[in-house]
Amino acid sequence: MALQSLLIQNLRIIEQLDVSFAADANLFIGENGAGKTSILEAIDILSRGRSFRERRTTSLLRKDTEELIVSGKVNSTEQTTHLGVQKSSRQTTLHCNQEKVTSISMHASYLPVLSMHPDTHQLIQGSGLQRRNYIDWSAFHVKPLFLQNWREYSKCLRQRNVVLRNNASAGELLVWTKQLSTMGEMVNIARSEIFQEISPIFSEFVSILLPECEISLNYHRGWSEELSLEAALLEVHNQELLSKTTRCGPHRADLKIFLNQQEAAAAASRGQQKLIAASLLLAQIDHIQRYSEQKCVVLLDDIRAELDQQHANALISALQTLGCQVFITAIELDQINLNGWEDTKVFHVKQGVCNPVK
């Protein structure tokens, strides 16, 4: 699976850009503020409907415009798919093969995108939501029923919280407790399987990027390991009546990361956090490709600002073994070594204009 071409209109400083890509690696060079990251954002929007850098559409729109458009052609061994996204401050419209679709999950399934950028260390430093999203992104691509189960769980969770806030009867609360427990157990099974599959892969990559450190992962499912979810919810019943919210379940899960037997969020330096996050990214790419037989698209935004030359080279070398399509930004050409890839292109970006380097 590879992104063959991309059309961008009215995204940040880019008025219009139409570019074709190499199947292995594409490097965008240019000064800061030239529009390099915006091209990577467009690829992310094409896949997930939003940018890794900015959730607000108004911040993405080019000055004095009301709508941005991103479209692209995705090639796989079986077919060529045309994807399109139109975004305004009011709505997002999706197209697949010239037909309007309602689910961004379809785009993401055709074009699985993962990114490393200046905020990637939040995977270590940030809230549990960041790490739940990490596990869920793999589950979405690898476990066919996960998305449906997670949506059903989220719906039950919202309704159960409404019941708690409205002081509904014990019988009504029990109905939603049983439904939530059923869906929550299914979500947890998928997440637990993902964790078991991805952990040894992570260990391989972290031994390359941080060989001098002892790094480990633990998955906390969001309630006691000794109890079913229904039993755990019944145990905290009185606390929930006071707090008016569901106190345990998959929405409280977390992926705990340890450096030398201490929580990495507190013990790891910023540089170590970046390398642990890079190892998680590599493990996720390998896992998705290994278990779903899909090829990932990887976005690396200014990794030389994130990693020193030695570790940046190690990350690039690891990516070269995975066979994914990679898009990289850098200020200078000599910051990134493309020699390990067969099919590559280099582009110079200036004031939102992108031209191939001869």
* Predicted confidence pLDDT, tens digits, the chain (358 residues): 799 999 999 999 999 999 999 999 999 999 999 999 999 999 999 999 999 988 888 999 999 999 999 999 999 877 899 999 999 989 999 999 999 998 889 889 999 999 999 889 899 999 999 999 999 999 999 999 999 999 999 999 999 999 999 988 899 999 999 999 999 999 999 999 999 999 999 999 999 999 999 999 999 999 999 999 999 999 999 999 999 999 999 999 999 999 999 999 999 998 899 999 999 999 999 999 999 988 999 999 998 887 888 999 999 999 999 999 999 999 999 999 999 999 999 999 999 999 999 6
Residue where one domain finishes, among candidates 245, 273, 293: 293
Domain extent, residue 132, equals 124-293
Residue where one domain finishes, among candidates 244, 276, 293: 293
The two structure tokens encoding residue 230:
């229904």
The two structure tokens encoding residue 225:
């390991």
CA 160 to chain centroid, in Å, comes to 28
| Cβ neighbours for 45, distance < 8 A, ≥ 6 positions apart | 11, 51, 60, 70, 85, 87
The two structure tokens encoding residue 305:
């600002």
Q: What is the CATH number of the domain that holds 25?
A: 3.40.50.300
pTM for the predicted model, two decimal places? 0.94
What backbone torsions phi and psi does residue 330 show, to the nearest 5 degrees? -160, 160
Residues 253 and 358 in one domain: no
Residue 200 amino acid letter: P
Q: What is the CATH number of the domain that holds 261?
A: 1.20.1050.90
Nearest-angstrom CA–CA distance, 133 and 145: 16
Query: 3-class SS at 193?
Result: helix
| Cβ neighbours for 186, distance < 8 A, ≥ 6 positions apart | 145, 149, 153
Residues 258 and 135 in one domain: yes
Residue 30 amino acid letter: G
Residues 350 and 241 in one domain: no
Total number of domains constituting the chain: 2
In a domain, 38, yes or no: yes
Residues 173 and 233 in one domain: yes
- What is the C-alpha radius of gyration for the chain, rounded to an integer number of angstroms? 22
What backbone torsions phi and psi does residue 282 show, to the nearest 5 degrees? -60, -40
Residues 132 and 253 in one domain: yes
> Measuring CA to CA, which residue among 341, 318, 351, 352 is closest to residue 27?
341
